[in-house]
Amino acid sequence: MADKELKFLVVDDFSTMRRIVRNLLKELGFNNC
């Protein structure tokens, strides 16, 4: 099981891709996005 308090830094030139990754992480239960 993943540590839900793990922090991610998402870096991408395209805001759409950042939003997609952020939403995916939220769906997986990570809420510090």
Task: Give the CA distances from residue 17 to residues 3, 6, 14, 23, in Å, rounded to whole numbers and listed in that order.
Answer: 23, 20, 5, 10
pTM to 2 decimal places: 0.68
Is 10 within 8 Å of 32 (Cβ atoms)? no
Convert the pLDDT of each residue in 1-33 to its tens digit.
Answer: 567 677 888 899 999 999 999 999 989 888 765
DSSP code at position 31? -
pLDDT at 12: 94
Number of domains making up the chain: 1
SS3 of residue 8 by DSSP: coil
Q: Compute φ and ψ for 17, nearest 5 degrees.
A: -65, -40
pLDDT of residue 13: 96
Residues of the domain holding 17: 1-33
> What is the structure's pLDDT at 5?
75
